[in-house]
Structures are given as C-alpha cells and as structure tokens.
Chain A
Amino acid sequence: AQTVTQSQPEMSVQEAETVTLSCTYDTSESDYYLFWYKQPPSRQMILVIRQEAYKQQNATENRFSVNFQKAAKSFSLKISDSQLGDAAMYFCAFLEPQGGSEKLVFGKGTKLTVNP
C-alpha cells in the first residue's frame, strides 16, 4: 500500500520569505500523480499544485513550486514570497491511476504559520 509521510507537523515563516515543506512517499508504481492541497482555517481543501510522475520537469504555479525527486520518492513544496494568506494546513497526497476511480492517499499534514 502507498504511504505518504510529512515529517514536519508545523512550520513557520516570515512574511515575504521562502519556506519548504517536505513530503516523502512509498510506492512500487511508476505511473502516479502527486498533489499538494491547502486547507485554510475555513477548511475548504484547495489544490495548490500537481505533478505527474512521468514528467521530469518540476511543476510551478506562481509562487508555488515543487522539487520532485522520483528516485528518492520525495516531493517538497516551496512557497516563495510568503503571504499571510498562505497560512493553512498543507497536505501532500498521492494518487495512483486506476481507470478513473482513483483514491488519494494523504499525509498527516503540515501546519504553516506566516508571521507578519
């Protein structure tokens, strides 16, 4: 079974600085997807960024980028120029394609605090 590990229960960053959230996973599959989801205090889960395992290029979405190391099974999220609105729980998630009925496997999450 796939597992996702987020080793940092909590992180903090100063506004405008950069922070990196760690995620490792375990799978024997070669084709899969990885996601970072953000869950602000209002609790709606929002997709931040996704990475297809077959793509070597790291995904980037504005201030958010990932460092995907397939061999090491590592998928870290870098947030640049942190803003107060970035404060949230961040969940790393793994998904193995299964013909449409896929299941997300979540890590336990990292609570990010942004200090003004």
Chain B
Amino acid sequence: DAMVIQNPRYQVTQFGKPVTLSCSQTLNHNVMYWYQQKSSQAPKLLFHYYDKDFNNEADTPDNFQSRRPNTSFCFLDIRSPGLGDAAMYLCATSPGQGAYNEQFFGPGTRLTVL
C-alpha cells in the first residue's frame, strides 16, 4: 500500500545532541511537510518542500533544518535539541497539483530529550 513512513517511531536524544528524523513516501507526492505536535495541541507546521523548493515558516526556530534529497525522502534535523523540543513530529505529503488537496500523514516520531 502507498504510504508515508517515519523512522524511528521513538527517538531519545540528549540535550544539545543533534538528531535526525526520517520520512519517506511511496505516494510520489510533490509536497512534503513537517509538523511539530506537543501534547494535547494541534500540529504546528515547521516547513515544507514543494519538489525541491523549501518553504520555512516564519516562526520556525533556526535550530530546525530540513533536507529533501529526492522525491521520496525528507529529513528533519534538530541541530541542538532543547527540552522544549520534546514532541511528536509528523510528516505529511500532498499531491501538490489538481483539485485534491488532502494531506496524508505518517505515524509520527516521538522525540524525547533528556
């Protein structure tokens, strides 16, 4: 089945130790999104790629970076995680064209910062 896959599902890192979260998709969608979701809150968009074009949200801290080496993969890099960065990180994709604008979500990676 076509899907959005996130690895790992659970990630533990130490304060200040760089960490990379991975997202892959078999949907061949043009757009890939990264959201941060803290407990009992709505997802907050960090940034997204339309093909190779990177679009950063104005309030996304510089500590968060992203890479999209090809259509299928997108990475979230947290350069120096702080305790406040502990959250669920959701990856989503959308076709990016046509009338059907649904976003398809992965299962998320829960990040713990010690």
> Within the assembled complex, what's the spacing in Å between the Cα atoms of A91 and B35?
14
A28 is an interface residue with CB less than 8 A from chain B: no
Number of interface residues, chain A, beta carbon within 8 A? 24
B64 is an interface residue with CB less than 8 A from chain A: no
Stretch in contact with the other chain, from B17-25, B67-75, B100-108: B100-108
> Within the assembled complex, what's the spacing in Å between the Cα atoms of A50 and B40?
23
Contacts of A47 in B (CB 8 A): 102-104
Q: Render B33-71 as a binary contact track against A, CB cut-off 8 A, 1 for contact.
A: 000000011110100101001010000000000000000
Contacts of A37 in B (CB 8 A): 105
Instruction: Write the chain A residue with the least CB distance to B106.
Output: A44
Number of interface residues, chain B, beta carbon within 8 A? 28
User: Separation in Å of the B97 CB from the closest CB of chain A?
Assistant: 5
Apart from the given pairs A50-B102, A91-B42, 16 other A-B contacts in the complex at a CB distance below 8 Å: A33-B101, A35-B102, A42-B107, A44-B105, A44-B108, A45-B92, A45-B105, A97-B101, A100-B30, A100-B50, A100-B96, A100-B97, A101-B31, A101-B53, A103-B45, A107-B42
